[in-house]
C-alpha cells in the first residue's frame, strides 16, 4: 500500500525542492507541479510532488493521519 503525504516546500530550485513535515525533510522532484512556490504544501509520493494543497486542506489531511495512527500521543511530533 502506498501513502502520499502533504509536506511544506521549504526550498525550490527549478525542478528540485526540499520539503519538511515535523522533523523530517525530503528532497523531491517538482516536475509535475510547475506552479509550486516556496511555502506551498504539496502531496509527496515516491519522491515526487504530485499536487499542491491549500494550507487548510493540508491541515485536515495531517489531522486525519494523526487520528489513523492511534492515540494523539503516538504520533506527536511526527506530523
Q: Provide, for the chain, the percentages of residues in helix, strand and coil under a 3-state DSSP scheme, each rounded to the nearest 5.
A: 20, 40, 40
pLDDT at 76: 47
**What pLDDT, on a 0 to 100 scale, did the predictor assign at position 73?**
46
pLDDT tens digits along 12-39: 999 999 999 989 999 999 999 999 999 9
In this predicted structure, the answer to whether residue 69 has a pLDDT above a threshold of 80 is no
Asked if residue 28 lies in contact with residue 18, where contact means CB atoms within 8 angstroms, the answer is: yes
Contact 12, 37 (CB under 8 A): yes
Identify the pLDDT of residue 55: 92
Residue 32: predicted pLDDT: 97
Domains of the chain and CATH, by start: 5-68 (2.30.30.140)
The reported pLDDT for the residue numbered 68 is 84
Q: What pTM does this model have?
A: 0.78
Amino acid at each position: 500500500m502506498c501513502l502520499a503525504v502533504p509536506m511544506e516546500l521549504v526550498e525550490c530550485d527549478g525542478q528540485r525542492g526540499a520539503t519538511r513535515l515535523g522533523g523530517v525533510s525530503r528532497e523531491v522532484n517538482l516536475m509535475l507541479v510547475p506552479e509550486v512556490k516556496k511555502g506551498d504544501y504539496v502531496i509527496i509520493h515516491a519522491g515526487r510532488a504530485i499536487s499542491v494543497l491549500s494550507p487548510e486542506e493540508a491541515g485536515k489531511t495531517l489531522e486525519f493521519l494523526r487520528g489513523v495512527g492511534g492515540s494523539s500521543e503516538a504520533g506527536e511530533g511526527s506530523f
